[in-house]
Amino acid sequence: MANLEDLTGLSDPLYEARKGVYPKAVDGFFRRFKWAIMAVTLAIYYVTPWIRWDRGPYAPDQAVLVDMANRRFYMFNIEIWPHEFYYVAGLLIMAGVGLFLVTSAVGRAWCGYACPQTVWTDLFQHVDRFVDGDRNAQIRLKNAAWGPEKIAKRLTKWAIYLFIAFWTGGAWIMYFADAPTLTRDFWSGNAAPVAYATVAVLTATTFIFGGFMREQVCIYMCPWPRIQTAMMDEKSLIVTYRDWRGEQRGSIKKAEAQPGEFGDCIDCNQCVAVCPTGIDIREGPQIGCITCALCIDACDKVMEQVGRPRGLIDYLTLDDVATEKAGGKAESVLKTLFRARTLVYFGIWSAIGLAMLFTLGQRTRLDLTIQHDRNPLFVQLSDGAIRNNYTVKVRNMETRPREVELVIKGLPDAVAWTTNGSRETASHRVKVSVAPDSVQKVRLFVAAPSAGPARADFEIEAIALTGNERGDSDSVRFERPENRQ
């Protein structure tokens, strides 16, 4: 049987075996910034479902809640109904445009600081250091034979992984039900099966992706790095090695022995040692770089120790690279960030946000939908008047009961009544009580003189007598017999 080499003509394997990545601990501005981002994002994720928000006695008091059972989305003072899903679409569009903005300005900064995969991987790497020690200790432990110490450390580390993964899955389901109630039901075995299944799936994915796959998710599984290449340009800030200053690499002793023959890079490999994806930034821009800038912290620390200028690795644009190689000076960061492209993205992002805020402020909390009965189209009453029947749905989107008045407009001498009334008590105004946060279905009967056009368009307006007084209206048609004088 032909082997792979015979079939492909290649002597090298098609796939490279994974090399373990053991990032070294580093301190510096960007590391501290990552600490801050990680703390904030994890706090938001784990704490938000437990924040209480008083909406009155008729609505849940959880600040952020996706209420699937009642088809509502709550976020503090904002309540989104199913027919208002365009607000969620607007948030998703804002998120997309925001990613375009960040990428065009500072490359893959989202990947390096705020992506969930990055945040949890960073958290798990701190667990590695806590249990196994720093980079060298982790490598020694990996290469060591299995024994009591290695088994104990592995089991301890994996137990912490599992604990973090479990609470990650547990926190997720809290967004879809009242957190304290669901917690009690979960531990007592009374929660819905989907809650246990969701926690199990998210526990497994967090445990595997954050604990073992790590940089492979960023490099091989995630499509975002490929998309970003189309959004970055020559003016996007990316982590760059100043090779014109660093090459040729050589140790301090070699540089002292041969002055002028070597650059500033002493080939210490600290930039590689601290990289969470294990790349060598000195090889140039590559898909494995998530722009976390930890290599900048490591290199600046080494440059300071050997008495050479900081910034051998730095945030630069491709235009800055060309300028500095030619002996010029790079543009200021502010000028790079506030350029036409980023301002356009920011303008679009802001316009969408302001439009959503405006519509949120102007939306009515009362909605009216009317459907004309088709069979029969009309009924002639004993006094000769014509009656049409309608099904009216009044949606009260406030968390309080409301009195609503339905008013007939544009149909002369018309009167209306509901199943609770009669023709004798009919008027052009009908009052309806609507429960909080619900839809009230009403059978509405409208009678008008027989004299008139066969088809007359008119309006029924819903006026709120309590709460937000903004109302709603709907155009409907009144049917009469044709050829009637």
Greater confidence, 374 or 2?
A: 374
Rounded distance between C-alpha atoms, residue 25 and residue 62, angstroms: 39
Rounded distance between C-alpha atoms, residue 302 and residue 300, angstroms: 5
Query: What pLDDT, on a 0 to 100 scale, did the predictor assign at position 15?
Result: 65
Amino acid at 148: P
Query: What pLDDT, on a 0 to 100 scale, did the predictor assign at position 14?
Result: 64
- What's the mean pLDDT when you consider all of the chain? 90
Q: Is 420:444 a contact under the CB 8 Å cutoff?
A: no
Is 296 buried (19+), middle (13-18) or exposed (0-12) by CB count in 10 A?
Answer: buried
Residue 201's φ and ψ, nearest 5 degrees, are -65, -45
For 45-54, 175-184, 327-336, which range has the lowest pLDDT when averaged over its residues? 327-336
Q: Is the pLDDT of residue 468 over 80?
A: no
Query: What pLDDT, on a 0 to 100 scale, did the predictor assign at position 207?
Result: 96
Q: What are the b/e assignments for 166-189, b being 16+ CB within 10 Å? A: bebbbbbbbbbbbbeebbeebeee
Q: Is 317:336 a contact under the CB 8 Å cutoff?
A: yes
Share of the chain above pLDDT 90, in %: 65
Task: Look at residues 313, 323, 317, 311 and name the one whose alpha carbon lies nearest to residue 339.
Answer: 317
Q: Is 444:386 a contact under the CB 8 Å cutoff?
A: no
Q: Is the pLDDT of residue 414 over 70?
A: yes
Q: Is 131:158 a contact under the CB 8 Å cutoff?
A: no
Query: What pLDDT, on a 0 to 100 scale, did the predictor assign at position 85?
Result: 85
Rounded distance between C-alpha atoms, residue 237 and residue 106, angstroms: 5
Amino acid at 28: G
Query: What pLDDT, on a 0 to 100 scale, did the predictor assign at position 280?
Result: 94
Task: Look at residues 240, 237, 234 and name the one whose alpha carbon lies nearest to residue 108.
Answer: 237
Query: What pLDDT, on a 0 to 100 scale, did the predictor assign at position 7?
Result: 52
This prediction's pTM? 0.82
For 306-310, 314-318, 362-366, which range has the lowest pLDDT when averaged over its residues? 362-366
Give the Cβ contact number of residue 295 at 10 Å: 27
Query: What pLDDT, on a 0 to 100 scale, did the predictor assign at position 72?
Result: 86
- List, for residues 2-18, the tens digit of each pLDDT value: 555 555 555 666 666 77
User: Model confidence at 143, in pLDDT bands (50, 70, 90)?
Assistant: very high
- List, for residues 257-269, the tens digit of each pLDDT value: 888 889 999 999 9
Please give the average per-residue pLDDT across 373-380, as a whole number: 89
Q: Is the pLDDT of residue 1 over 50?
A: no
Q: Is the pLDDT of residue 214 over 70?
A: yes
Distance of CA 82 to the CA centre of its chain: 19
Task: At 432, list the tokens.
Answer: 């309806």
Please give the average per-residue pLDDT across 59-76, as a whole number: 89
- List, for residues 281-296, the tens digit of each pLDDT value: 999 888 889 999 999 9
Strand order in the sheet with 78-80: 64-67, 72-75, 78-80
Query: What pLDDT, on a 0 to 100 scale, did the predictor assign at position 209?
Result: 95
